[in-house]
Amino acid sequence: MRLSILTRPEVIAFTILIIGTAIVTLRMTRPGGRFSGRSKDGRGGRAVATAGGGGETAFKVEQVNRNDPKARMESVTFADVAGLEEAISELREVVEYLRDPHRFERLGAHMPKGVLLYGLPGCGKTLLARALAGETGVPFYFVSATSFVEKFVGLGAARVRQLFEAAKASAPCIIFIDELDAIGRHRSADTAGEREFDHTLNQLLVELDGFMGSSGVMIIGATNRPELIDSALLRPGRFDRRIQVDRPDRSGREKILRLHADTRPVSRRVDWGEVAAHTAGLTAAELANIVNEGCLLAARRHRDRVAPEDIDEAVSRVLAGTRSARLMSDEEKELVGVHEAGHALLSVLLRGVQPPSRISIVNRGAAFGRSPWSTTDDREVLTKRELMAQLIVLMGGRAAEMQVFGQPSTRAEDDLEHAAGLARRMVERLAMTGRFELAGRKDEGARGNDEGEGGKEVRELLEKAEQAARTILGDNSADLRMVAETLVLKETLTAAELQDMVRGGGGGGAVEMSS
């Protein structure tokens, strides 16, 4: 009797837990339940299926049935994807298989069970998966991997089983798992939470192994961090086809810009090829944002069509942020004008550096880690001479300040940070100063005892670049003054205006840097 009195609260709590767990399990697994995402006729057009209850976060799976007229109107195809020709060509084989699997099976061919799309955020991985489903016309299941695992042990594995059971019933179909690294990362057994992730991953591996070649279910995973994916997921028979979805090149950027502009009233005077040339390194999402920002600016200015000026301003917004409301004094304007003129003039005079589309003294706050003076074009292979030219341009603002005012300012802080990073890369990763023992080291903690001598060579590179910048600007002092005064007066210059100004002033002869 004494034992019963002492444990009564625990018995009550345990009973409630058992009843709650039973209710949740029944709701998750009953036929035709909320997970299946189907209407009463078994083929709902578009549904968001949820499983769970009792206060836990709902598990959401979006299913799109392409036989529904509304779904067909909303469907995406490869025609809606630009700048990803290589990835699309890899996926066309999957399209052919899902459309006519028997043609491949007669020849004994088996398509990959899983396709892994990897690359930077905003490059189009999710769009590619939706376009693949639109091309094939099969049901499409969309789920975020983060929704699999929660606080209840075994819930993640159960949700994986439910997802694959629903997909098999709808075959042929496509399952798209976004942010796959959330459950597919390397396994460990350090904590209970990590063990739950491991159980979920193990169940996913079991489901992948359980697929027969004729199941008609294609698994597509997407991740921004492929290095975290467990090797068991990547072996043949699972996610055995890997497609990189990278930032577009110049041609791809132009296609993406035109694709988004085609549905909007944009002036024919907008040169999308020129815009693409000055947006190297941007993702597809950022390029789409440029067009949208241009439309917003045009609407704010009460235009009927988006003008080139709107797109130019939109590029500046995406690259460097919005314009600051703080007004500069005349002294600040003069200093900033000289600083930016130093960068701009060197970018025209030196080979291997492409001037940005706009040069401005307008304060735009944080540049989000980008420097407009540290980019060239889409080339991945650069020579030491070209990297030195970039270093000189980065040091050009400080050098111009020293030449005109006799002292540097805080304006050069970001330039020095980018220049130091580039110089360190040249010394420690590219061995461009002859230090082969430092080559290939990517993490800063690996420098160890070589920091002293390696740091000395970095400083020497920066000093050499600054001295070269001061020499070139000294030889072109009249052009420096002219560009600086024009920037103070107009606040903004385009690359074409800058080049015409330098040529008109007698400059413009490209300076070839020695190695």
Instruction: Give one DSSP letter per residue of 431-473, joined into a string.
Output: -TTS-GGGTT--SGGG-GGGHHHHHHHHHHHHHHHHHHHHHHH
Report yes or no: 114 and 240 within 8 Å, Cβ to Cβ. yes
Question: Which residue is catalytic, options 135, 340, 428, 466?
Answer: 340
pTM over 0.85: no
Of the candidates 340, 456, 430, 321, the one whose C-alpha atom is nearest the C-alpha of residue 393 is 340
What residues form DSSP beta bridges with 242?
116
- Phi, psi dihedral angles at 91 (to 5 degrees): -85, -15
At residue 68, the 3 state secondary structure works out as coil
| CATH architecture of the domain with range 250-320 | Orthogonal Bundle (1.10)
With vertex at residue 93, the alpha carbon angle to CA 89 and CA 98, rounded to the nearest 5 degrees, is: 135
Spell out the CATH class of 31-244.
Answer: alpha beta
CB 118 within 8 A of CB 222: yes
Q: Give the C-alpha separation, 274 to 358, whole Å.
A: 12
Structure tokens at 353: 């550096």
Tens digits of pLDDT across the chain (515 residues) = 444 454 666 666 667 767 766 665 655 545 444 444 443 333 333 333 333 333 344 455 555 554 444 444 357 889 889 989 989 988 988 888 878 878 888 888 877 788 999 999 999 998 998 898 888 888 888 888 888 766 556 677 888 888 888 888 888 888 899 988 888 776 655 544 556 667 788 888 888 876 554 467 888 999 998 888 888 888 887 888 889 999 998 899 999 999 999 999 999 999 999 899 888 888 999 999 999 999 999 999 999 999 999 998 898 888 877 665 567 788 989 999 999 999 999 999 998 787 777 788 877 654 443 456 555 566 778 899 999 999 999 999 999 999 999 999 998 998 999 999 999 999 988 888 876 655 555 544 444 444 556 788 899 999 999 999 999 999 999 999 999 999 999 888 888 888 888 875 545 455 655 55
The pLDDT, as a whole number, for residue 402 is: 95
The full set of domain ranges for the chain reads 31-244, 250-320, 330-504
Tokens for 406, please give them: 């006799």
Q: What's the confidence (pLDDT) of residue 160?
A: 85
Helix/strand/coil (H/E/C) assignment for every residue in 162-180: HHHHHHHHCCCEEEEEECC
Query: SS3 for 62?
Result: strand
User: Quick check: is 340 catalytic?
Assistant: yes
Answer yes or no: are the C-beta atoms of 367 and 414 closer than 8 Å: yes
Are β-strands 46-51 and 59-64 bridged in parallel, bridged antiparallel, or unpaired? antiparallel
Closest CA relative to residue 284, chosen from 88, 86, 76, 84? 84
Tell me how far apart the alpha carbons of residues 511 and 473 are, in angstroms, rounded to a whole number.
Answer: 11
Q: Which fold has domain 330-504?
A: Methane Monooxygenase Hydroxylase; Chain G, domain 1 (1.20.58)
